[in-house]
C-alpha cells in the first residue's frame, strides 16, 4: 500500500501552498486490522491534523503580517483597489 498523507491546499490570488502530514499505512483488508492498529492510526491522524492546523495557522499569521507591512507602506495593489470598489457586488469578469 502506498504511503498515506493528510493534505490541505491553500490558494490565494498570489500563491498556492500545500500542507502535508504523513500517516502510517493501514492494512487494506478491514479483517486484518486489529483494534490497537486502528487506534494507533487514528491517533496518528489526530496528531497529523493538529500539526497541520498549527502549520496553517503559522502560515496565515505570517501572511497577515506581510499584508499589514505592505499596507503600512501605503502601497495598494490594483486587485485590492478593485475589490474595494466592487465590495458587495458580483465581478462578472472573474465569474468567467
Integer Cα distance of 88 and 3 in angstroms: 44
Q: What predicted TM-score, i.e. pTM, was given to this entire model?
A: 0.64
pLDDT for res 71: 83
71: its cell numbers:
499596507
Flag whether 80 is in a domain.
no
Q: What digits encode the pLDDT tens for the residues 68-88?
A: 888 888 765 556 666 666 666
Asked if 1 and 29 touch (Cβ cutoff 8 Å), the reply is no
Flag whether 20 is in a domain.
yes
Integer Cα distance of 75 and 34 in angstroms: 59
Flag whether 85 is in a domain.
no
Q: How many domains are there within the chain?
A: 1
Flag whether 86 is in a domain.
no
Q: What is the mean pLDDT of the chain?
A: 82
Q: What's the domain range around 53?
A: 4-26+34-74
Flag whether 79 is in a domain.
no
**pLDDT band at residue 60 using 50, 70 and 90 as cut-offs:** very high
Amino acid at each position: 500500500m502506498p504511503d498515506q498523507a493528510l493534505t490541505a491546499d491553500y490558494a490565494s490570488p498570489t500563491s498556492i501552498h500545500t500542507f502535508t502530514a504523513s500517516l502510517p499505512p493501514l492494512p487494506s483488508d478491514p479483517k486484518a486490522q486489529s483494534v490497537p492498529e486502528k487506534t494507533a492510526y487514528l491517533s496518528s491522524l489526530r496528531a497529523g491534523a493538529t500539526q497541520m492546523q498549527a502549520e496553517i495557522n503559522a502560515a496565515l499569521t505570517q501572511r497577515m503580517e506581510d499584508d499589514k507591512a505592505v499596507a503600512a507602506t501605503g502601497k495598494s495593489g490594483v486587485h485590492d483597489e478593485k475589490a474595494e470598489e466592487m465590495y458587495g457586488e458580483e465581478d462578472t469578469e472573474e465569474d468567467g
